[in-house]
Structure 1
């Protein structure tokens, strides 16, 4: 008997620091199930500076390629890169769709004051694998962030109602 084919799923977790990307990705990884790829965790594990943009860029390229390989093998994947720009989200969506995968976008947001409070709490708790981010940095990041609009969100698959997030 041949096992039924299940369409692999790519989940992009999008948002600013402190928005809850890792918390959501961990919950989804168990529910989907999926392989979760988080650059911050990899950089910490490799002893790299979380603010080394060149290393982060190379790592995200490697993890993106790995994600596509996994999708091609039928394995669902969660990428929690932040996905601050539309172009980056479009590239991942189109690459995954070319492999026959479904693609969901989970955009997490909160007011800047709340993001700042969460980051302070996380820093005070000495949560390993997280960057120490100042309020000024957070404000700068918020200006750079290109939030997905309704037209963009409509390009992605909707999560099934049976899978709470």
Structure 2
């Protein structure tokens, strides 16, 4: 039986750090749209390209789940509806589904992103304080009821 791990949180919450650790420990296949976009030479803010890529990565994840693999998706999963669609899709394949929510206070996210922006690492896009503040207003944190629907 496959296992899907969804990583939920705003930029700077530690999703990639956690995903890399889990991928090594479990082991698991880690799928990160930001890294794929960067390696393909695409703009990380190109929403149509991101949407196409995330749909393709989801198809790939489903194939891996059918094969009994563990897959980690690093999409951020800001919307409840998006998380629910992934949960139901994976369950339909007989996979277990985990949601790992990385709740980090906004001021700490600002500090982390300032450091990340200054480092200028490949595969990361600079994120301004204003943009993060805007995204924080549309982010839908998982509720206790929602978290109870997952296997872990």
Structure 2: runs of 5 or more not aligned: none
Structure 1, unpaired ranges of 5+: 1-6, 159-165
TM-score, length-scaled by structure 1: 0.90
Helix, strand or coil at the partner of 1:104? strand
Q: Which has the larger radius of gyration?
A: 1
Please give the alpha-carbon distance, in whole angstroms, between the structure 2 residues aligned to 1:138 and 1:16.
8
1:50 match? 44
5 Å-filtered alignment, 1:30-109, equals 30-109=24-103
Output the aligned Cα RMSD: 0.7
Alpha-carbon separation, structure 1, partners of 2:87 and 2:101? 14
More helix by share: 2
Equivalence for 1:120 = 114
C-alpha offsets along residues 101-150 of structure 1, whole Å, 9 cap, x if unaligned?
A: 11000011211111011011011112211111100000000001001000
CA distance in 1, matches of 2:113, 2:129: 9
Asked if structure 1 preserves the Cα contact closer than 8 Å seen for 2:27 and 2:70, the reply is yes
- CA–CA distance in structure 2, aligned partners of residues 59 and 97 of structure 1: 22
Corresponding pairs, count:
152
Do 2:120 and 2:126's aligned partners in 1 also have CA atoms closer than 8 Å? no
With the length of structure 2 as denominator, give the TM-score of the two structures: 0.98
Separation in 2, partners of 1:19, 1:130: 14
Which secondary structure state, in structure 1, belongs to the residue aligned with residue 112 of structure 2?
A: helix
- 1:46-66 Cα deviation digits (max 9, x unpaired): 000000000000000000111
The structure 1 segments of at least 4 consecutive aligned residues displaced by more than 4 Å after TM superposition are none
